[in-house]
Amino acid sequence: MDTVLELKNIVKTYGNVVVLRNLSLSLEKGDIGCLLGPSGCGKTTVLRTIAGFELFDEGEVLINRKIVASGTYHLSAEKRKIGMVFQDYALFPHLSVHGNIGFGLHGMSSQEKHKRISQLEALVGLEGAADYFPHELSGGQQQRVALARALAPRPQLLLLDEPFSNLDITLRERLSMEVRRILKTSGTSALMVTHNQQEAFAMADVIGVMHEGKLEQWDTAYNLYHRPASPVVAEFIGEGVLLPCRVAGPSEVETGLGILRGRFIHPCKNGCTAHVLIRPEDIVPEPLSDLKARVLKKNFRGANIMYTLKLPSNDRVLALLTSHHNYQIGQEIPIAPKVEDIILFEAEIKSFF
C-alpha cells in the first residue's frame, strides 16, 4: 500500500518541557487515522506539526514519501497541499455556502469552479443550501460546509481538529459516521484528533492513543480494546480495572476472582505478581457460583447497568449487566468471570488519567 503520511521520531519541546517524545506513525493512502487522548497529551501539536504551523526539534514529516519538514528543513504550510477542518469551522460569515466552498479554488475557469463546488455540495448533502450564509445553517450543516471547503482543492491529506466537539451527542455520533462516508467516497486520506473514544471508533481505520507526548499504541480499535500494548491504553480505552494477580503457570493466574486460565505472555516468571485487565463484560451473574460480590455502586444506562462490585479479596471490579438485573446497593450477588483474553502487565501500576 502507498503511505500518504509518515512521522519519524518527532521530538518537540517548549523550553524544558518535552511535548512530543520520539513520535512515529504512518498512514496509508485512503485510510482515516485518529490521535486519541486527554487534553494536554500533545495530539493537537502533532496535527499542527503536520500542517506546518509548528516547528519541531528532531525527526521528519513525510507526505507521499517526500520530506516536508525535518530538524533542518521546513516546507511552508501553503505548499503542503493539506486541507484543514478546524474545531470552530472558521467559515467566512460574509460568504454563502457556495462562496465558502469555492474560496480555496484557484487557477480554474468559472465553469470548472462551479462544477467542483456543485459536486461537493452534493457529496455533503447541501445541494439546496448554496445561497445560505453560515448564520442561517445548523451546526451540522456548518461542519459539512467546512468539510467541503477543505476537500475542494483535492488535498493530499485532510486534518481534522476536534471536528465534532461543538455538536450535541446525538448529532455528533450521526455526523461522525457521515463524515467517514464522505471521506471514503472521495478517497481522501485523513487524520483527526479527539478526546472522544466513540468518535474515534466511528471514524477511524487506525487509532493512536497518546499520553504525555508519547504514542502508546497505533492500531485498530479492536486491538486497542482487546490487545492493549500498555497499562495506559488499557486504562484509557473502554472501561475496566487492572486487578492484582499472581502468575501461577504458563496459562494460569490467581486473582480475587479465582484462577483464570488462558493463553498469555506473562511479564515475569511463575510466582510473580502482576495485574490482569478485567473488562465489565468479563463479569457475569452466575446463580450457582460460590463467589459472591457486594454491590458498591450502580450506574443506570437504560438497557444496561454498570455495577461496581467488591470481591471477598477487597478488590473491586466493574460488571455491565442488562437492566433486567436490578441489584441494590449493598446486595451480595453470585458472579463468575468469563475472561477470554488474559492481558497481563507488570505489578507496578499507577493511575495514568
Task: Transcribe 214-228 into DSSP letters.
Answer: EEEEEE-HHHHHHS-
CA distance 78 to 305: 50
Assess whether 215 and 243 both reside in one domain. no
d(CA 241, CA 204): 25
* 187 and 207 together in one domain: yes
> Tell me, what's the pLDDT at 55?
93
Q: What are phi and psi of 179, to 5 degrees?
A: -65, -40
Whether residue 201 is found in the same domain as residue 252: no
- Which CATH number do you get for residue 56? 3.40.50.300
Does residue 28 sit within a domain? yes
Secondary structure (3-state) at 321: strand
Task: Report CA-CA distances (Å) from 286 to 81, 88, 161, 224, 227.
Answer: 58, 50, 45, 29, 27
- The residue among 198, 233, 268 that closes a domain is 233
Residues 246 and 225 in one domain: no
Quote the pTM value.
0.90
The answer to whether residues 181 and 308 belong to one domain is no
Query: Cα–Cα distance between 142 and 163 in angstroms, integer?
Result: 11
- Return the pLDDT at 169: 79
Q: Are residues 204 and 218 in the same domain?
A: yes
Has residue 107 been placed in a domain? yes
Check whether residue 254 and residue 229 sit in a common domain. Answer: no
Residue at grid coordinates 512515529? 24
Give the per-residue pLDDT at 1: 66
The whole-number pLDDT of residue 272 equals: 87
pLDDT score recorded for residue 350: 61
| Structural contact between residues 101 and 152, judged by C-beta atoms closer than 8 angstroms | yes
Look at residue 175 and tell me if it is in a domain: yes
- Tell me the residue length of the chain: 353
Q: What is the widest separation between alpha-carbon atoms in the chain? A: 78
Structural domain total, the chain: 2
Q: How many CB atoms lie within 10 A of CB 346?
A: 14
| Residue range of the domain that includes 210 | 3-233
Q: How far, in Å, CA of 279 to CA of 282, rounded?
A: 5
Which of residues 178, 207, 233 is at a domain's end? 233
Same domain, 113 and 246: no
Residue 353 lies in a domain: no
Low-confidence ranges of the chain (pLDDT < 70): 1, 266-267, 348-353
Give yes or no: residues 208 and 309 share one domain: no
- Tell me: do 287 and 144 sit in the same domain: no
d(CA 218, CA 302): 33
CATH code at position 292: 2.40.30
What per-residue confidence (pLDDT) applies to 267? 66
> 244 and 229 share a domain?
no
Q: Shortest CA distance to 335 belongs to which of 314, 353, 352, 317?
A: 317
pLDDT of residue 325: 87
- Residue 187 main-chain phi, psi, to 5 deg: 70, 25
- Say if residue 88 is in the same domain as residue 216: yes
Terminal CA-CA length for the chain = 36
